[in-house]
């Protein structure tokens, strides 16, 4: 499984999904374990897609085979062009949001962020983190919004969900992952995931379509 970051946006990419990146977009890639990164580079004048932003797409069996097919070095030019045209027909966007975890600028806030990134299950509330770095709760609240654009609870949720996806992709059961990243129950974790990402972890990792509007949970 791969991770791709563009600025503060971060996508988790199991084998069932890929990320469309427009030309010129600076990005970082990484993997928690051994992985193989497959990239297709398309000539702009032969690409009919005009997606201006990074966009996740589903990878089904046919698209996966085409990607492997296009990796052949002995592929004739006309055959390559035909295969590329089919690839473009198969690129269907998945309307799920990236799990962005903006990294703060303020040194005091960075200390809190580093603690939570190292241990997403850290149960301490904002007050305790504020005391640990020597500021008031009000100051730390203001710093989180100023530096990350999120409040403390939302930022920590994103940290937990990003960590959870890596564990789920390795095949760990939902109940264990939920406790590992700081949720008391699997149902609480699943509800937080649906609210934030727009689909369930299993659908996200399998590349299935997100829930319809009627399937999404109500409330905050």
77 and 115 in a single domain? The answer is: no
Same domain for 31 and 111?
no
Of 39, 57, 90, which closes a domain?
A: 90
CATH number at residue 152: 1.10.10.60
How many other CB atoms sit within 10 Å of the CB of residue 70? 17
Asked if 39 and 138 sit in the same domain, the reply is: no
pLDDT tens string for the chain (220 positions)?
A: 788 888 877 787 878 889 999 989 999 988 766 778 888 888 888 888 888 899 988 888 899 999 989 988 898 989 988 998 899 889 888 766 667 888 899 999 999 999 999 999 999 999 999 999 999 999 999 999 999 999 999 999 999 998 998 888 778 999 999 999 999 999 999 999 998 888 888 887 776 655 443 343 333 3
User: What domain count does the chain have?
Assistant: 2
Strands (E) across the chain are located at: 2-6, 9-13, 17-20, 28-31, 55-58
List residues bridging with 13 in a β-sheet: 2
Q: Is residue 102 part of a domain?
A: no
Residue 123, domain member (yes or no) = yes
Task: Identify whether residues 127 and 68 lie together within a single domain.
Answer: no
Range of the domain at 135: 107-215
In a domain, 95, yes or no: no
Structural domain includes residue 220: no
Say if residue 83 is in the same domain as residue 111: no
């Amino acid at each position: 499984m791969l991770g791709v970051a563009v600025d503060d946006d971060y996508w988790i990419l199991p084998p069932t999904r890929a990320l469309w990146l427009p030309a010129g977009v600076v990005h970082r890639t990484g993997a928690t374990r051994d992985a193989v990164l497959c990239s297709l580079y398309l000539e702009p004048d032969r690409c009919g897609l005009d997606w201006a932003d990074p966009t996740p797409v589903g990878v089904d069996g046919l698209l996966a085979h085409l990607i492997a097919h296009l990796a052949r070095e002995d592929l004739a030019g006309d055959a390559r062009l035909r295969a590329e045209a089919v690839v473009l027909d198969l690129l269907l966007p998945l309307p799920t949001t990236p799990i962005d975890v903006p990294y703060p600028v303020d040194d005091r806030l960075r200390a809190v962020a580093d603690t939570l990134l190292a241990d997403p299950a850290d149960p301490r509330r904002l007050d305790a983190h504020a005391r640990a770095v020597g500021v008031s709760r009000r100051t730390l609240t203001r710093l989180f919004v100023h530096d990350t654009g999120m409040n403390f609870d939302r930022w920590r949720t994103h940290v937990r969900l990003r960590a959870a996806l890596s564990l789920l992709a390795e095949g760990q059961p939902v109940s264990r992952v939920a406790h590992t990243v700081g949720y008391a129950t699997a149902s609480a974790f699943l509800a937080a995931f649906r609210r934030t990402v727009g689909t369930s972890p299993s659908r996200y990792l399998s590349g299935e379509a997100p829930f319809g509007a009627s399937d999404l949970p109500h409330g905050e």
